[in-house]
């Protein structure tokens, strides 16, 4: 499905038009200075994609990238346009609640392509564009900035959710009732690694847009691209901090388990040590000899007293030595 809109002036409501009319406005030889044409394609058919490729004379490498998903975030400059691949994550389930956004920026036109699933940053920016509520800067590059800004800002709730979940897990790892907490932390850490891998090239893309390297990005827009580049850099650092926190929680859990095992071994050792003299006494005095040298009542009571005194003394000594 393809939808198109034309804005004749920044801050004015855009006019919803057909695809052919949008193409004619975008390819006009002498378009008005403030004219912006936005074509948004959601899961375009092969015919629609071919029409976009032919109309804007896209490079074969761009055509190949548009035909295949799971692309790495990147920015490529071709004659007459910039091609960007970006990623947006909607929730903690990064593998299933993520979207890949392709953007093609021309002098006075912008083409966005997504794979069928509604992408909230695109929907928000489109609504502002149509209603004329778009913030500065003006121009097609300004619309691209607003899309990028919504994508980057949309990651903040995801980072907050990661942080809250790690805090809950870190509080539960010290409880015996939460033996599977470490498995949950490992799952969170794996998601953070995936998030970090996606943000790293996206950070490079925004950093490149913030530099004065592309004629299609006006000087007024550079300040805004620098701002969104700073935001994604902070998100990258936040992901790195959360990943280190997850690793710390895992190490704490392992330390807790080792401590519990040490306590169990210590208790078993104490029990064995306490019963060792008892085994000796009962074994010695319990032998069934006809002429036992200590066969009188006094030695019997001495043995019983030793059996009661030795364990008590050992326990007191262990406690004094802080082994218990």
Rounded Cα distance between 169 and 184, Å, is 8
The token pair at 197 is 């891998």
Q: Are 50 and 57 in contact (CB under 8 A)?
A: no
Whose tokens are 């990661």? That residue is 162
Rounded Cα distance between 42 and 113, Å, is 6
Please report the domains of the chain, with CATH numbers, ordered by start residue: 1-134 (3.30.460.20), 262-320 (no CATH)
Rounded Cα distance between 287 and 304, Å, is 15
Using CB atoms within 10 Å of the CB of residue 319, give its burial: 0 to 12 exposed, 13 to 18 middle, 19+ buried.
exposed
pLDDT in 10s for each residue of the chain, 324 residues? 889 898 887 778 888 988 888 888 888 887 777 889 999 988 888 888 888 898 888 999 998 888 887 888 899 999 989 999 998 887 766 665 678 899 999 988 999 998 877 788 899 999 988 888 777 788 888 899 999 999 999 888 888 888 888 888 877 766 644 556 777 888 888 888 888 888 889 999 998 888 877 788 888 888 899 999 999 999 999 998 888 888 887 777 777 777 777 777 877 777 777 777 767 767 766 655 555 555 566 766 777 787 778 778 877 877 776 666
End-to-end CA distance of the chain: 72
Q: Are 314 and 273 in contact (CB under 8 A)?
A: yes
36-42 and 2-7 as β-strands: parallel, antiparallel, unpaired?
antiparallel
Q: Which helix (H) or strand (E) element contains residue 38?
A: strand 36-42
- The Cβ-side half-sphere exposure at 113, using a 13 Å CA radius, reads 24
């Amino acid at each position: 499905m393809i939808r198109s809109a034309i804005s004749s002036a920044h801050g004015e409501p855009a006019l919803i038009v057909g695809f052919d009319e949008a193409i004619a406005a975008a390819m006009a030889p002498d378009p008005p200075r403030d004219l912006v044409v936005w074509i948004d394609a959601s899961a375009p058919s092969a015919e629609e994609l071919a029409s976009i490729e032919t109309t804007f004379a896209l490079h074969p490498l761009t055509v190949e990238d548009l035909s295949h998903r799971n692309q790495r975030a990147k920015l490529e400059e071709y004659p007459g346009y910039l091609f960007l691949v970006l990623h947006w994550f909607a929730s903690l389930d990064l593998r299933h609640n993520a979207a890949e956004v392709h953007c093609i920026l021309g002098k006075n036109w912008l083409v966005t392509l997504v794979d069928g699933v509604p992408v909230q940053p695109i929907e928000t920016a489109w609504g502002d564009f149509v209603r004329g509520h778009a913030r500065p800067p003006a121009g097609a590059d300004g619309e691209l900035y607003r899309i990028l800004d919504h994508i980057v800002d949309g990651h903040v709730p995801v980072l907050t959710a990661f942080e809250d979940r790690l805090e809950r897990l870190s509080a539960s790892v010290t409880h015996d009732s939460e033996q599977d907490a470490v498995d949950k932390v490992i799952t969170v850490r794996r998601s953070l690694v995936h998030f970090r891998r996606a943000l790293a090239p996206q950070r490079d893309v925004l950093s490149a847009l913030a530099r004065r390297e592309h004629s299609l990005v006006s000087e007024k827009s550079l300040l805004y691209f620098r701002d969104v580049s700073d935001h994604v850099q902070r998100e990258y650092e936040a992901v790195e901090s959360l990943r280190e926190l997850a690793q710390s929680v895992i190490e704490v859990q392992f330390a807790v388990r080792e401590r519990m095992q040490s306590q169990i071994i210590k208790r078993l050792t104490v029990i064995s040590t306490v019963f060792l003299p008892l085994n000796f006494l009962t074994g010695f005095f319990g032998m069934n000899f006809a002429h036992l040298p200590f066969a009188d009542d006094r030695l019997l009571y001495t043995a019983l007293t030793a059996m009661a005194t030795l364990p008590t003394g050992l326990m007191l000594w262990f406690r004094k030595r802080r082994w218990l």
